[in-house]
Every structure is written in C-alpha cells, then in structure tokens.
Chains A and B, each alone.
Chain A
Amino acid sequence: MEFLVASAIGILTAGGIYLTLRLRTFPVIMGISLLTYAVNVFIFASGRLTVGAPPILSDGVTTYTDPLPQALVLTAIVISFGMTAVVVMIGLGAFLGSDDDHVDDQPETSDSKAEGQS
C-alpha cells in the first residue's frame, strides 16, 4: 500500500511538473493543481498510513491516526482553492487583455495563426 501511495505521489508530481512547463496558461494551472494534490497527499502521508482509525475520539479505542498532518492539509486544500482562483483570474485577465494565453511574453506575433485555429 505504501508503494501505491508513494508511486501515486510520484506520478502526480511528474504530471504536474510536465504540465507546469507547458506554454499556455490553462495547462499550467492544471499542472499546479496536480502538484497541489501531490503535495497535500505527501504531507498527509507524513502521518503514515493507517486504515480504519480516524482521529475521532471514542470510548474503548486506543489507536488513532496522526491528526496533525490532516489539520494542516485541510486548510491547505481550502487555501489552494483560493490560490488557484487567483491564478486563474490573473491568467484570464491576461488573456482577455491581450488575446493571448501564453505564459511567457512572446518575442514575435507569429502565434496569432495558432490562436485563430482554436
């Protein structure tokens, strides 16, 4: 199971990095989202994996999983929504302002053809 979670983190990271290095805003945002999942799961996994022991105190139960990474990740998930929204807004604003959704400044305007296709 540890191998599966670790490999999932690795695959999410790899996909995230690849998409983050793309040239248009939308894939970059997708990439950042994937990286967010990877980081959240990574932090969550620092509490080690435990099945069937949620940190809800109840009588007669002595094993609980580590609650602290969960609390940290919980706020991280909500904050990451806020951050994604800001990045999307910035990307959208840039696209609406210049009709160009490239992440980097374009040296020449030969891309307008590609723009027209989409």
Chain B
Amino acid sequence: MSLFFIVALPFFGALLPGLMNSAGRSACAGVTFTVSLLAFIGLLSNLPTVLAGDVVMVGIDWMPVLGLNFTLMLDGLGFFFATLILGIGLLIIAYARNYLSRDDNMGEFFTYLLLFQGAMVGIVLSDNILLLLVFWEITSLSSFLLIGYWKHLPAGRQGARMALTVTGMGGLAMIGGMLILGQIVGSYDLSVILQNRDLIQADPLYVTALILILLGCFTKSAQFPFHFWLPHAMSAPTPVSAYLHSATMVKAGIFLMARMWPVLSGTPEWFVIVTSAGLITMVLGAVIALFKHDLKALLAFSTVSHLGLITMLLGTGTAFGAMAAVFHILNHATFKAALFMSAGIIDHEAHTRDIRRLGGLRKLMPVTFMIASLAALSMAGIPLLNGFLSKEMMLEEAHHTVLFGSHWLVPALATFGSVFSAAYCFRLIGHVFFGPVRDDYPAKPHDPNPGLWMPPAILAVLVVVIGVAPFVAEPFVKLVTASVLGGAADLPSAHFKIWHGLVPALFMSIIAVAGGLVMIAVFNPALRLWDRTPRPEAKPIFEAIVEFVTQGARLLILPLHNGAFSRFAAIGAITIIAAGFHAWATGTLGAPTREAQAASPVVIAGWVMLVAATAGLVLMHRNRLLSLILIGIVGLMVSIGFVFFSAPDLAMTQFTVEVVTIILLLLALNFLPKFTPVESTVLRRVRDAGVAIAGGLATFGLAYYYMLRTSVAPPISEFHLANSYKGGGGNNVVNVILVDFRGFDTYGEIIVLGIAALLIYALTETLLGGPVRARLLNRKPDQKRAGNKHPIMMVVLTRVIMPVVLLVGFYIFLRGHNEPGGGFIAGLIVSIAVVMQYMASGFAWTSSRLRYPYHGVIGAGVLIAGFTGIGSWFVGKPFLTSAFTYVRIPPFHKFELATAALFDLGVFLAVVGAVMLSLESFSRLAKRANMADNEYPMDIDPSRDDPDSATSGQAKEEV
C-alpha cells in the first residue's frame, strides 16, 4: 500500500467514529479498529522492501518554493515506530472499547485517537522536516484533546493545558532549529539532510540548531527539566496514558533524536547535553516513582525515568548505545503499555489506583496479577524477560561512558537509578498484589472480561518471548539500528544474549536487584524521610511562571488598552505618527522628480468647498443633521475630484455610495439623539486637536512628498494597460482589473460585503428579539412627523423613474467592460432605485411586492461569481480565467460576450443584495405600535387607516 494511504487512513478514518456514534459503542470501536487495521496491513505490505534494506519513498510537491514537499519515507526506523504506533494502537482501541463507560462519548474519543494516530504515523514517515513539524504540532493538539477528554475533571483540563504549553513551546523552538538546519543544508528533505553530517557540524549555527531541536525533543519526551507535564497528563483516560504517554507520543522526541542521530550526534555538545539530561531524568524519575502512591503516577515517573535511560543511550553517540536504545524502545513499549493497561484494569475493577488502599489482589485478580507481574519484573530487569536484556546493554554502555572526565559518574548514577527502578517495580507487585486480602476496597475487585485483559496479555507474551529468545528480535533491532546509524557508524557486532559471562554489567544488575529488595524492606522509614524532605513541586512552579507571565502582559497592556476606545484610538494614532516620523527622520529623501501641476481656479474652488465642509463638520459636529449634510458635501467634492483626475469609475462609485450612506445614516439618526452634548474638557479637546493636527500634517507631508516623485519601482499597471484588451477583452482597464486580473480579490470583497450585510441583519434580528423591541414599538418620535407620510408627488415620481433608473443601471452594467461602469456601480444605482420605492411608498408596501429575499440575492451573486471562476477549471485554466468572444446578431451591432460579464453579474447581485439588506434591516427597526402597516402606497383617504374601520382591521389580521 502506498505510504500516502497509511498516513491518510487514520485522518480520513477520524471522520467515521463520530458518524458511527449513534450506531452503538461496538460499531464505533469496530470502525476505528478496522481503519487502524487497514493502515497496519498497509504498513506490513511494505515489510519485504524494508527487510531488503531498501527505503520506500513517495512524494508530491506541495509548496516547492518554500521547500515544503509532501514526501514520505519508510526505512527501518520509520517502520519500527509505525509498527509500534499502529500495532499498539490496535490493542489500545480494543482495550478502550471495554474501558470507556456508557457515559463517555466514544465517537469523540476515537476521533481524537485516530487524529493522533495519523499524526504520529506522519511524524515517523515524513521525509520533509517541515511536513514533520506539521504532524508534530498535530500530535500536541490531539494529545491536548485526549488528555482533557474528561472535560468535567479540573485535573484533566489543567493537565491538558500544561502538556500543550510545554510541548507547544518545545515545538516552537524546534521549528526554529529545523529551519536553521534546512538553511544550512539547503534542503528540507531528511534524505538530503542525513547525508550532510560534516556540513552541519562545521556550521557556526550548529549548536543553536542542536539546542533548539533538543528543546523540542526534550519537551515532547519529558526530559529534565521538562519532565513535569507527563505525570499531570495522567488524568487522561488510561488507554490514552498507555498509548500516548508510554508507547508512542513521548517517544516522538526520542524518535527524532534517533532520526537526527547521524548528523547531530558525536559532538561534545550533543554528548554533554543529551547524556546528562538523560541521566538526570532517569535517576530523578526513578526516585520519585518509588514514593508515588497513585499507580498511574508511579508508572508515569517510571516512564520519565525510562525515557531518560533511552535518551542517555542516544547521547553516548556510540553505535552500541544506539542499538541498546532501539532495543529498549521496543521493550519499554511492550512492558509499559501492558503495565498501564493493568493499572487501568485495577482502577476499573477496584475503583481506586491508590496503592495504599490496594493489596492482596493476587488471589482476586490472578490474570491481571500474572500480566502485571511479568511486565513489572521485566521493567525491574529480571533475567528471562526482555527488560533485563536492554537494561544490561544500558549498564554495559554506561560502564564505558566517561562524562565530565569521570569514569565512575555514569556507571554509579546508572546503577543508583536502577536500584530505585527495581524498587518501584517490586513495590508495585508487592504492595498491590501481595499482602492480605482486604475488605475495604471501594469496589470488589475481580478479573475483568477478556476484552480488557487480552491486549496487555498479548504484550506480556511478547515480553516473555523476547526475554527468553532474544535472537528473535535481534535481526529486526539490528535492521532498525542500521537505519538509525545511517552509515555514520558501523553496526555493532554484539549479539543479544542472556548470559554474557561475568561482565561488570552483570554485577551492576545484581546490585540493582538486591538494592531494590533492600529499598522495599526499608520502604516505610524511607517514605517518612521522603515526606519530610522539602522539595520543589513542579505544578506550583509552572503555575507561578504562567501567572507571572500573565501579570507581566497585563501590566504592559492594561495601561495602553483599558477598553476605552477613545483612549486606545488616541494611543494608536500617536504611535503610528511617531513611527512614521521616525522613519521619515532616519530615512533618506530623494529630490523631487515631478513638476507640480498648475491649479486652475475650478480646482481651487473645489478645494475650498471641501476644506470648508470638513472644517464646518468638525466645528459643528454637535448638530448631527447638519453634519450629515456637510459630509455629503465632502463626499460630493471627492467624487468630483475623481472625475477631474481621470477616474470616472471611482467618481460614479463614490457618488452612488454617498447616496446610500447618507440614507443609512439618516435611518440611524432617526433613533439616535439629534445633538451631541458638550462633555469633554477644553484640555481634552486641545489634546485631541493636537493629535489630529499632527496626523493631518503627517499625511499631508507623506502625500505631498510622494506625489512629486515617481515610484521607486516601475508600477505593474503597464502590464494591465497592455493586456486589458488582448487578455481581458475590455477597454475599461479598471473594470478588467476588477473582474479579471484581480478577480479573486473582488470575489473576496463581495463575500465580505455580503457578510457585513448578514451581520447587520443578524444584529437587527437580535435587537428585535430582545427587550429593545418593546421600547422601539412604543417609542414617541422626538421630532414632529409630516402629516403626509407618503406624499403623492414622490410616490408618482419614484414609480415613473423606476424603469428609467433600472434601464440606466442595466446600461451601466453592460457597458462596464469598455466604458466607465460595471457591476459595482450598476448594483448601487439599482439599489438606489429600490430604496426610493421604500422611502416613497413605505416599507410594508414595498416589501410585500418583493419577490426574492435579499439574502438569496447575495448568495446568488456570490455563487454566480464563484461558479464563473470554477468554470475555467473545466477548460484546464486557473480559477477565474476569463474568456470572451464577439458575436453579431443582425440587425444589432457586433457586441462582446465575456465570462467576465457573468462574474460582474455576480458582483452586481451581491452589491444589490448587500446594500438592500443593510438598509432594509435599519428600516425594520422603525416599525411602531398603533401604526398600521400601509397596505396602500398613499395616505389619501384618512379614514382608511382608522384603526376602527373594518378594512384596516382585516389588513392587520392578514399581516
């Protein structure tokens, strides 16, 4: 099966559990299992190639410019991890089916689980490191969702947040590291990077890249000092802990260290950082684990400890260390997942995970006892179980490792850690299963159904098989090791054997086991000592750091942004002006290259009107009606300015927009106070005037400066002018730009416009649905109303000119491609025609004659424009490529047919719909009680609208 399918299957499969949720829990788990099984089979179908030592590669270009390609690679290491992820995944799915209770939303759980699985498989199969980073982040996110799956548990939510914060920050650091690495090599493909060991290690940025990448690995794999999130993630359901936090996700960091081993390892920096972090984590985790009373917490810290062990082995930088690491990854995945599942069984049956409340389960749960004991003994390093083999290889490697010039430091610490490791394993077995049977368990424990114990049992069988016959695993481990080494070192020749003779590692093992037994014997006094010893707790420290950062952010933001608009608008304006001034003062200014053009008296007159209107608006803004008139003048002068400066399309747009804007503001002013009271102090007004004058001077300076100079680079408009007719089939370059060259922009803009209109509609609905409605209905108009609401002159006039205006709109629309006009302007003109009907004949009269709702018109416009764009796909062209032709239907003149016109029709409809929906929404607020909806356009017969008369009563009922 293609690698694409193996990665894609879990992602697409993630859609299924949610759909199957209502079909029952078994169906839900069944479909998840099937998806994983298919991916697993697909993976195994690649086994012969991998065994032959070949690397499977598939890839398609995604964004080649960025070096981001969807390339996947399957070699021994990838195959090994993918097998762990999918294989253990299958066991976990089967286990989770029986573990989750009826109250848990199983579809949600399995959706998250499959997302996680897909992302994990993606990490281990990625050939492109940018792609790997994408999958890396998805694992962080899906793990967040899984840890917080029990949303009602505060511990779950906190644990999820902590895990996301720590691994997310590590991920960020790693992005930096990976980018540096890609820059050094000149490629983001792993297959290329792995060939460039010398280039990377000689680069001055090597250490930076190394530290950043290791930050990502250490946070993900819970290495000291980032180990603290893992135990808190244990509030997740146990299948999650077994899967993510022992077998797979926490190994992602280790996977990456193994993947990068050929190019990053072997330097003193790598050795010191990785080995010491691993060593500290290993010892610390083992010591803390011994004194944890929560079974899952004990296992979590032991996982931390074992991850440290693997990290330390990778850190040594020797081939033997790498082989021991690979072997221990395999062994740890088997025994630790089995242990987690056993812990879940105990929790499930006894309703507690507290070791102090357990004991004597040996007789009550014999099957679980067998499984858990085998796994725990393996973890302790007892011969004939797989943990012994890799642990001894670790001790052997530690024996040869010289850290900080000391020959005994690493072996001593490794043995010390192993003592505690053995001790907590013995404690787990002794304190949970041995001892007298108690009568105060929260629930009567007994062995669960096979659905729960089969998955760990299968793993326990593996533990024994590998432990007794290590030669079974040897070829596979060596194959994986070979791909870790990647030619950077020779494969070690050592064989996996239970008996190596009287080597130092054996003595260290014996010391560990004996020491562990001694620790258990003196456990109670040791625990008292431990409880009395003050030690830093990670969670309060983490929370204090988060709190500190939050406080810092508040301290910075609140003075600037306390929620008062006028405050931060002023701060914003000042900042922008200051930044602009800084750029101006420190930049270089060229000499003017353009002549200033002479101004005619007409221009000066227009300028005077504009300035006078603006000044009047500012001075008399308290009279709101007057300010509307003045801003109308400003808009008019701007429109005329556009005409004068060769922009007829802009002038038409500005002019029509001006009309609808004024209508809109008038509608709003109907409800708002008509005057603005004097409130602000003189000082404040002076301050605001100061900011305003500074801003005005700044824009004046900027505009004046650049208008007298030609652009630094030649504008791209030459292309538009040259290709408008040839490529777009239109003479009006502005319109061709809108519907063709930059059609995608326009498409986005009509969508924005439509959304704005829908937002207004939604706000109106909310207002009319709430308590405001009653006030609106009963409000008294604050100004005198005209006796004749619908003057006959206006009604007649608007009706007469309606067809004329529509014709003009149609004409403007059609000619838009070659002459000033087009969909935007035509849409506005038609809107004005319709608005006039509302104004003259009344809201109810007009809307009852409305055949299509405006929402539909907006939607139709966007769809027509979109489908026109998609249409070009069918002829193999990119989105929104326009085509045109000239046709002649006698007796008419030859005319042009262009797909751009269809797109413009979409623009037209969207504009009409959006403008009308906004204005209509405002008018709907104006409805008042005791005011009959006008059925007739004119109020000629006063008796007709009398509430007592029969006709009106009927009309009201109809409404």
Contact = CB atoms under 8 A, between A and B. Distances in A.
Nearest to A4: B607
Give the residue among B674, B677, B734 with the most A Cβ atoms within 10 A.
Answer: B734
Interface of A: 1-30, 33-34, 37-38, 40-42, 44-58, 64-68, 70-71, 73-75, 77-86, 88-93, 95-97, 101, 103-105, 111, 114-115, 117-118
Given A8-B607, A82-B756, A15 B734 contact: no
Contact of A57 (B698, B700, B733): B733
A8 B610 contact: yes
A75 B703 contact: no
Give the residue among A46, A74, A114 with the most B Cβ atoms within 10 A.
Answer: A74
Interface in B676-708: 676-677, 679-680, 688-689, 691-693, 695-704, 706-708
Contacts of A93: 763, 766-767, 772
A22 B566 contact: yes
Contacts of B669: 26
Given A8-B611, A15-B617, A101-B672, A1 B650 contact: no
Given A1-B603, A85-B664, A89-B760, 13 more contacts: A3-B599, A6-B707, A18-B692, A21-B570, A24-B679, A25-B672, A30-B617, A30-B627, A40-B654, A74-B734, A74-B824, A105-B563, A118-B676
Give the residue among A19, A82, A117 with the most B Cβ atoms within 10 A.
Answer: A82
A1 to B, nearest CB: 4
A78 B699 CA distance: 23
Contacts of B603: 1, 4
Given A21-B691, A78-B653, A97-B772, A6 B704 contact: yes
Contacts of A22: 566, 621, 676, 680, 688
Interface string B558-581: 000001111101100100000000
Given A9-B700, A89-B764, A67 B720 contact: yes
A73 to B, nearest CB: 6
Contacts of B266: none
A24 B623 CA distance: 12
A73 B734 CA distance: 10
Contact of A70 (B734, B771, B828): B734
Nearest to B715: A66
Contacts of A26: 624, 627, 669, 672-673, 676
A77 B653 contact: yes
A19 B185 CA distance: 56
A7 B611 CA distance: 9
Nearest to A63: B646
Interface stretch (B28-36, B482-490, B872-880, B915-923): B915-923
B724 interface: yes
B665 interface: yes
A75 B911 CA distance: 11
A116 B275 CA distance: 76
Contacts of A24: 676-677, 679
Nearest to A68: B717
Contact of A104 (B566, B618, B708, B738): B566
Contact of B618 (A15, A64, A73, A95): A15
A10 B697 CA distance: 6
A89 B566 contact: no
Contacts of B700: 6-7, 9-11, 13
A4 B614 contact: no
Contacts of B621: 19, 22, 27, 30
Contacts of A75: 738, 745-746, 749, 824
Contact of A74 (B599, B645, B738, B759): B738
A78 B566 contact: no
B610 A78 contact: no
B717 A42 contact: no
Given A2-B597, A11-B614, A21-B692, A64 B721 contact: yes
A110 to B, nearest CB: 10
Contacts of A41: 638, 641
A1 B596 contact: yes
Interface string B723-739: 01100000111100110
B399 to A, nearest CB: 70
Contact of A3 (B617, B647, B704, B706): B704
A86 B624 contact: no
Given A78-B753, A93-B763, A117-B677, A51 B721 contact: no
Contacts of B654: 40, 77
Give the residue among A28, A78, A83, A96 with the most B Cβ atoms within 10 A.
Answer: A78
B569 A20 contact: yes
Given A13-B699, A78-B657, A89-B764, A2 B691 contact: no
A84 B693 contact: no
Contact of B647 (A2, A58, A65): A65
A11 B700 CA distance: 8
Nearest to A20: B569
A17 B690 CA distance: 10
Give the residue among B604, B671, B715 with the most A Cβ atoms within 10 A.
Answer: B715
Contact of A85 (B598, B648, B757): B757
Contacts of B631: 30, 33-34
Interface string B815-836: 0001110001000100000000
Give the residue among B689, B707, B756 with the most A Cβ atoms within 10 A.
Answer: B707
Nearest to A55: B733
A81 to B, nearest CB: 5
- Top 7 closest pairs, chain A to chain B, by CB: A14-B696, A10-B700, A82-B756, A6-B704, A18-B692, A71-B737, A118-B673
B708 A2 contact: yes
A114 B641 CA distance: 40
A74 B564 contact: no
A11 B704 contact: no
A96 B729 CA distance: 51
Contacts of A6: 700-701, 703-704, 707
A9 to B, nearest CB: 5
A3 B596 contact: yes
Contacts of A46: 706
A47 B570 CA distance: 30
B673 A115 contact: yes
B959 interface: no
A71 B738 contact: yes
A20 B255 CA distance: 57
Contacts of B702: 42
Contacts of B721: 55, 57, 64, 67
A85 B820 contact: no
Contacts of A58: 731
B441 interface: no
Contact of B599 (A1, A16, A117): A1
A7 B814 CA distance: 37
Given A42-B699, A68-B715, A77 B676 contact: no
Given A2-B704, A8-B607, A78-B911, A65 B760 contact: no
Contact of A51 (B564, B615, B645, B770): B645
A70 B644 contact: no
B553 interface: no
Contacts of B775: 96
Contacts of A47: 715, 717
Nearest to B678: A114
A54 B767 contact: no
Interface string B656-676: 010011001100110111111
A49 B96 CA distance: 72
Given A10-B696, A21-B570, A86-B760, A95 B672 contact: yes
Given A34-B631, A115-B673, A57 B824 contact: no
Give the residue among A22, A64, A81, A97 with the most B Cβ atoms within 10 A.
Answer: A81
Nearest to B628: A30
Given A79-B749, A96-B775, A57 B724 contact: yes
Contacts of A8: 607, 610-611, 641
9 contacts: A2-B707, A7-B700, A10-B697, A10-B700, A37-B635, A65-B646, A66-B717, A81-B657, A97-B767
